[in-house]
């Protein structure tokens, strides 16, 4: 269950980032943010006092628009449906045009933060609408936990349904920032995951406003998004290294046993004039073929595991595709398997060279 939650968190974080990427000029985020923030809700990896910060950002005439973004996994239900886990996204509507949420769908501004009045408005994507059987004008309940869905302040009316492709990855509900903050315990401290801004040539101004945060251009964010989560990257490298080592040891052991069983056959091949080089190639080819078959089998099993994870995520949480294996990674797996096969064949080749007919029984 924990693996599913983290997997959903990772997938949804990358998915929500992809929604803005390409139309955002600057990203403002905590230095210690990670892919698990969407699940952990840690204030140490969030920006604080974001409404005040947005006011300062917008005071610069060169900045076209900006909004904080709060992403949180929340529970959702509708009359006649069980609770499902979806992504809640909190924004300040009309703060920027990078989000496909028009002014007529959500009331512009964030009145709940300024005067306490809730709008109770939500915009959902087609996946959420299908998951909960909702249409525009219907009522849904949202909460940080399944048990909190029946609270009086957790009722929201569907103001619109987003059909953009970028919002089709997972079930999503877009709310006013302060209303999602209240649901998830982030109103105190006025916290959000990051701030996005549209501008040109305002990097220095924004960095002066946020000296303790990361301020990245869109190009820099793309690089950061890949390299920032060092623990996960280190874990992936460690797992790959251990897997390669196990593969080398397993194939080496198998090939040593194979050469040992074929001692007499190999000795006879030498006796009839077959060169040691040809015998070495034969042993090495056998090792490479064995490793290649293992690599292909690994790809097939990973595809099966991917499907099981996606089906489980949908069944338990109503989430969409949370696991995707890139063909480039699959190709890399085959290359590593071939390299392991070559390394694994070295010891059996040495053994085969030392076999002599005179040492064979009978």
- Alpha-carbon torsion, ordered 102, 104, 106, 109, to 10 deg: 90
The vertex-23 CA angle with 21 and 26, nearest 5°, equals: 75
Q: Is 190 left (phi over 0), alpha (psi -120 to 50) or beta?
A: left
State yes or no: pLDDT of 235 exceeds 80. no
Using 50, 70 and 90 to split pLDDT, how confident is the model at 100? Answer: very low
Q: Is the pLDDT of residue 148 over 80?
A: yes
- pLDDT score of 24 more than 80: no
The pLDDT assigned to 116 comes to 79
More confident call, 94 vs 299: 299
pLDDT tens digits for range 32-46: 766 555 555 556 678
User: Whole-model pTM above 0.75?
Assistant: no
- Give dist(CA 263, CA 362) in Å, integer: 13
Q: Which of the two residues, 132 and 198, has the higher pLDDT score?
A: 132
The Cα–Cα gap between 34 and 6 comes to 11
The answer to whether 121 and 107 are in contact (CB under 8 A) is yes
pLDDT at residue number 179 = 95
Residue 122 has pLDDT above 50, yes or no: yes
Instruction: Quote the pLDDT of residue 307.
Output: 85
Residue 72 sits at φ, ψ, to 5 deg, of -145, 140
What is the pLDDT of the chain when averaged over all its residues? 80
Query: In this structure, what token pair is assigned to residue 136?
Result: 């525009």
Residue 269 has pLDDT above 70, yes or no: yes
**Closest listed residue to residue 29, CA positions, set 214, 216, 204, 229:** 214
Secondary structure tally for the chain: helices H, strands E: 13, 9
Q: Is the pLDDT of residue 318 over 70?
A: no
* pLDDT at position 4: 45
Separation of alpha carbons 287 and 338, rounded Å: 9
Neighbouring C-beta atoms of residue 220, cutoff 10 Å: 14
At residue 345 the predicted structure's pLDDT band, cuts being 50, 70 and 90, is confident
Residue 282 clears pLDDT 50, i.e. is over it: yes
DSSP string, 16-75: HHHHHTTT-SEEEEETT--TTHHHH--GGGSB-SHHHHHHHHHTSTTEEEEEEEEEEEEE
Alpha carbon distances (Å) from 258 to 275, 292, 345, 347, 351: 19, 17, 11, 12, 11
Contacts of 302 (CB under 8 A, 6+ apart): 325, 330, 333
Other Cβ atoms less than 10 A from the Cβ of 217: the count is 13
- For 102, the 3-state DSSP assignment is coil
Length of the chain equals 362
Distances 293 to 240, 259, 322, 338 between C-alpha atoms, Å: 18, 19, 28, 10
User: Does 201 score more than 60 pLDDT?
Assistant: yes
């Amino acid at each position: 269950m924990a693996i599913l939650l983290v997997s959903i968190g990772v997938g949804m974080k990358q998915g929500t980032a992809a929604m803005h990427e390409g139309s955002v000029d600057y990203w403002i985020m905590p230095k210690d943010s990670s892919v698990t923030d969407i699940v952990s809700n840690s204030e140490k990896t969030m920006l604080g006092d974001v409404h005040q910060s947005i006011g300062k950002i917008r005071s610069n005439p060169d900045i076209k628009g900006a909004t904080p973004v709060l992403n949180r996994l929340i529970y959702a239900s509708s009359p006649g449906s069980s609770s499902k886990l979806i992504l809640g996204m909190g924004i300040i509507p009309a703060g920027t045009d990078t989000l496909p949420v028009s002014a007529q769908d959500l009331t512009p501004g964030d009145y709940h933060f300024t005067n306490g009045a809730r709008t109770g408005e939500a915009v959902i994507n087609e996946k959420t609408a299908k998951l909960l059987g909702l249409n525009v004008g219907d009522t849904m309940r949202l909460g940080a936990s399944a048990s909190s869905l029946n609270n009086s302040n957790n009722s929201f009316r569907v103001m619109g349904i987003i059909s953009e492709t970028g919002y089709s990855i997972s079930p999503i509900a877009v709310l006013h920032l302060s209303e999602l903050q209240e649901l998830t315990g982030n109103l105190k401290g006025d916290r959000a995951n990051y701030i996005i801004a549209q501008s040109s040539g305002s990097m220095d101004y924004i960095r002066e406003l946020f000296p303790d945060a990361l301020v990245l251009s869109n190009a820099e964010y793309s690089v950061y998004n890949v390299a920032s989560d060092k623990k996960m990257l280190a874990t992936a490298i460690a797992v790959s290294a251990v897997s390669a080592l196990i593969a080398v040891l397993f194939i080496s052991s198998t090939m040593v046993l194979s050469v040992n069983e074929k001692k007499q056959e190999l000795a006879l091949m030498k006796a009839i004039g077959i060169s040691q080089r040809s015998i070495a190639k034969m042993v090495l080819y056998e090792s490479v073929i064995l490793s290649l078959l293992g690599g292909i089998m690994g790809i097939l099993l990973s595809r099966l595991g991917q499907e099981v994870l996606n089906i489980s995520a949908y069944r338990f949480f109503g989430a969409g595709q949370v696991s995707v294996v890139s063909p480039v990674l699959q190709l890399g797996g085959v290359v590593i398997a071939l390299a392991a096969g070559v390394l694994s064949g070295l010891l059996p080749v040495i053994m085969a060279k030392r076999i002599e007919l005179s040492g064979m029984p009978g």
